[in-house]
């Protein structure tokens, strides 16, 4: 086992212990109301989680995406009321561009912005997660020559926040720039490609959804084994067993897809991995939420039960960074662009093996 893998497992164990001991209903409700728990965030920064993929010169461990996949998945499995994944990803993008990573929460915009000759930024992103709770935001801006730049902005320099763009879910806000100056900017790495940071955010959301799916599977199994109807646990009924088996299959497949996308980023093929993972996992999320709420009945949407914190995140994340329809359409265009003689080879090309941990 490599030393990097040891660090990965250590980080995952620390994250699981920390979130398991601290995350509760009150913290999730506070987050949905736009309030970040500062003490929990301080613990996360003290562990070095948000800089794990940064270079050592930026205080990071230079870990790869596949090595940080367990941390991203655990943030979904705990419905973490803090932006671990978003700040981890934003910090990695800044470090890759050679920009000093600031302390604190960093938001990340997926929409491409415009940059004028004086380096001022203009544009709009209708839903940036955790924007109102962030000190900085990272975005990609294109100048008049068509060159992309990674830009770091202070949120204090932005217009008055547009408020929560979603209700009772992970907090988002609209980012609007009209000639805003950057704190720092640098040429975007070639890895950002045509879609900018969108494939990376799509991969993050796919991994987080996989974590949330694993948790709703555990909750569903526990409920099916304890809820008694007609004199026996409902998990003893064949119809419920079929539903739980289907849910288990989707949770396992989602984890494979998320890990595959992370490994594709490490291999320099971010878009294909994101397209496959996001199109599949978003569909799994839709089907899995229907299954688990069917098993739980009305109790699954009550304020007292934790299930809705996961299913509402899943409904939100499946639409962010490109829906399953959008990514499926992009994959379909790639397939249709292949000459007839290469189509079968393109569709069936071998992929690296993915092993779950």
Interval 75-89: pLDDT, tens: 999 999 999 999 999
d(CA 284, CA 251): 8
- Domain residues of the chain, as ranges? 3-192, 198-348
Q: Tokens standing for 329?
A: 């359409």
pLDDT tens for 215-230 read 999 999 999 999 888 8
Given this model, what pLDDT does residue 63 score? 93
Cβ neighbour number for residue 347 with a 10 Å cutoff: 9
Average pLDDT over residues 338-352: 69
Given this model, what pLDDT does residue 353 score? 53
d(CA 137, CA 134): 7
CB 93 within 8 A of CB 138: yes
Among 50, 68, 52, CA closest to 60: 52
Given this model, what pLDDT does residue 336 score? 83
Given this model, what pLDDT does residue 212 score? 97
pLDDT tens for 180-192 read 888 899 999 877 7
Given this model, what pLDDT does residue 354 score? 55
Given this model, what pLDDT does residue 147 score? 92
Average pLDDT over residues 275-299: 95
Kindly indicate whether the domain formed by 3-192 is annotated with CATH number 2.40.110.10.
Answer: yes
Q: Assign domain 198-348 to its CATH architecture.
A: Up-down Bundle (1.20)
d(CA 38, CA 32): 15
pLDDT band at 352 (very low <50, low <70, confident <90, very high): low
pLDDT value at 265 more than 60: yes
Mean pLDDT of the chain: 89
Out of 9-13, 249-253, 274-278, 319-323, pick the least confident.
Answer: 9-13
pLDDT value at 93 more than 90: yes
pLDDT band at 355 (very low <50, low <70, confident <90, very high): low
pLDDT tens for 199-209 read 999 999 999 99
Given this model, what pLDDT does residue 162 score? 47
Given this model, what pLDDT does residue 204 score? 98
Among 121, 169, 175, CA closest to 148: 121
Given this model, what pLDDT does residue 2 score? 47
Q: Tokens standing for 259?
A: 């890990």
Given this model, what pLDDT does residue 160 score? 63
Helix H or strand E encompassing 149: strand 148-154
Given this model, what pLDDT does residue 57 score? 86
Given this model, what pLDDT does residue 161 score? 53
Residue 108 vs residues 111, 219, 220, 298, 352: alpha-carbon distances, Å: 9, 31, 33, 36, 30
**SS3 at position 223:** helix
d(CA 89, CA 60): 12
Angle between helix 340-348 and 324-336 (nearest 10) = 140
pLDDT value at 247 more than 80: yes
Length of the chain: 357
Contacts of 72 (CB under 8 A, 6+ apart): 84, 85, 88, 204, 207, 208, 211, 258, 262
Given this model, what pLDDT does residue 357 score? 52
Paired with 187 in beta bridges are 149
């Amino acid at each position: 086992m490599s030393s990097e893998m040891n660090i990965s497992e250590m980080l995952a164990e620390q994250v699981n212990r920390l979130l398991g001991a601290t995350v509760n209903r009150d913290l999730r409700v506070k987050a949905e109301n736009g309030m970040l728990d500062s003490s929990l965030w301080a613990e996360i920064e003290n562990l070095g989680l948000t800089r794990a993929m940064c270079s050592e010169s930026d205080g990071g461990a230079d870990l790869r995406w596949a090595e940080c996949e367990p941390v991203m998945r655990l943030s979904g499995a705990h419905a973490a009321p803090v932006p671990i994944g978003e700040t981890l990803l934003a910090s990695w993008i800044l470090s890759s561009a050679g920009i000093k990573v600031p302390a604190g929460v960093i938001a990340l915009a997926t929409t491409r912005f415009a940059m004028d000759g004086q380096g001022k930024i203009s544009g709009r992103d209708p839903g940036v997660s955790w924007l109102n709770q962030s000190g900085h935001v990272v975005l990609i801006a294109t100048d008049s020559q068509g060159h992309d730049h990674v830009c770091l902005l202070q949120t204090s320099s932005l217009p008055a926040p547009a408020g929560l763009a979603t209700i009772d879910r992970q907090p988002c806000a609209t980012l609007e720039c009209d000639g805003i100056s950057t704190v720092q900017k640098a040429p975007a790495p070639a890895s950002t490609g045509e879609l900018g940071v969108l494939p990376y955010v799509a991969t993050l959301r796919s991994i987080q959804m996989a974590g949330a799916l694993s948790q709703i599977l555990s909750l569903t199994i526990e409920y099916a084994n304890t809820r008694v109807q007609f004199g026996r646990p409902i998990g003893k009924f064949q119809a419920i067993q079929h539903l739980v088996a289907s849910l288990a299959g989707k949770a396992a497949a989602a984890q494979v897809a998320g890990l595959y996308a992370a490994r594709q980023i490490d291999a320099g093929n971010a878009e294909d991995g994101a397209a496959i993972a996001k199109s599949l996992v978003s569909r799994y999320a839709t089907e899995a939420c229907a299954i688990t709420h069917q098993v739980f009945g009305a109790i699954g949407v009550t304020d007292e039960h934790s299930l809705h914190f996961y299913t509402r995140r899943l409904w939100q994340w499946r639409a962010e960074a490109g829906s399953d329809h959008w990514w499926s359409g992009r994959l379909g265009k790639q397939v249709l662009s292949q000459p007839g003689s290469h189509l079968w080879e393109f569709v069936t090309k071998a992929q690296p093996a993915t092993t779950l941990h």
